[in-house]
A = this chain, B = another copy of it.
Amino acid sequence: MYRTPWVRVSRGPIESMAICSYLAAGKAALDEEMQRDATVWALGEDLGRGGVFGQYAGLAERFGRQRIVDTPISEAAILGTAVGAAMTGTRPVVEMRFSDFALCAIDELVNQAAKARYMFGGQTRVPLVVREPVGMWRSSAAQHSQSLESWYTHIPGLVVVMPSTPADNKGLLKTAIRSDDPVVYMEHKDLWGLEGEIPEGEHLVEFGRARVVRSGSDVSLVSWSKTVHTAAEAARKLASEGIEAEVIDLRTLWPWDEETVHASVAKTGRLLVAHEAVGVSGFGAEIVASVCEQLHDALRAPPRRITAPRVPIAYSPPLEDLARVTTDRIVEAVRQSMSE
């Protein structure tokens, strides 16, 4: 009854490229989708003054206070009202500020948004996007640095997106806004300033398609979000040693591109997964398990994960650094893998 029609996602024609920051790319995506569809709106704390990182700067002036909505500090209500509004013919884009604060709205996301379509037998859809900036950034300590993406991959009904480049932040956010199912959209705070090329014109990126950042025949290096850049850097170093790493950016964790990863591992025989989150029960475990289950014989060395230890993030920079996935750690792990 209150449904909006499902829009098939396709890649638009790439006309030309422009340089744009990761932050501006996200803003452009929202801007374009708000122009395209009057039912799209955004809500969160301080959005009227651009949001905490400036991701919304100027949008209130452009679209008005009805569609760029300043909210109280009420995370449960921000997400919970978005669920009701999504069931009632609108497409809310929810801003959670730091992914850590989304923990104040887990019932709303996991028990309500994720399950409504199924639980009500397909009578409704919940087309909402929850933007949850993740990751370590400027010594923000234990309650402002988490990356809990693996949690959401475990929840049926949720899509999980983690863009690593400006182009993907634009194309994936646009796809997320058009998705009829709830999307957990995790931008990395440390990437806001990253600049990169963006295809001009309608640019949509499909869910479930990994990006091969760099081809290589020796080892498959799977990553997402900010760690993709660390992995790419490691691959460059390794190349100078004669080791050719294939770097894969998953871009979306649910759905994830098993096909591309498996094809890569079938070719290289070696799998390393690198991610910023805690290793134990991180999404790296799922990838390793999937590859080992299905490509056991193709693996020439044990798979490896390069991740954070199971510790909260400390404030003090040297301690924080010890939880970080670095180029050196990846290089070292690949070297060890090659020697096995």
**Residues of A that sit less than 8 Å from B by CB:** 100-101, 103-104, 106-107, 110-111, 114-115, 118-119, 141-143, 148, 150-151, 153-157, 254, 277-278, 280-286, 288-289, 292-294, 296-297, 299, 301-305, 310-312, 314
Contact = CB atoms under 8 A, between A and B. Distances in A.
B286 A293 contact: no
A256 to B, nearest CB: 9
Nearest to A290: B285
A288 B286 CA distance: 9
Nearest to A293: B302
Contact of A281 (B101, B150, B312): B150
B119 A110 contact: no
Given A288-B285, A289-B285, A156 B305 contact: no
Contacts of A150: 150, 154, 281
13 contacts: A103-B110, A104-B106, A104-B107, A118-B312, A119-B141, A156-B312, A281-B283, A281-B286, A292-B292, A293-B302, A296-B302, A296-B303, A297-B302
Q: Which of A100, A143, A292, A311 has the most CB of B within 10 A?
A: A292
A143 B156 contact: no
Given A115-B312, A118-B142, A312-B119, A292 B289 contact: yes
Given A154-B280, A296-B303, 7 more contacts: A118-B142, A151-B281, A157-B312, A281-B283, A288-B288, A288-B292, A288-B293
A278 B156 contact: yes
B280 A311 contact: no
A107 B292 CA distance: 34
A117 to B, nearest CB: 9
A301 B293 contact: no
Given A151-B151, A280-B153, A311-B156, A119 B143 contact: yes
Contacts of A292: 288-289, 292, 302-303
Contact of A296 (B293, B294, B299): B299
A115 B143 contact: yes
A157 B302 CA distance: 29
Nearest to A158: B310
Contacts of A157: 312
Contact of A154 (B282, B293, B296, B312): B282
A165 B279 CA distance: 30
Nearest to A149: B281
A280 B286 contact: yes
Contacts of A285: 281, 285-286, 288-289
Given A115-B143, A157-B312, A293 B303 contact: yes
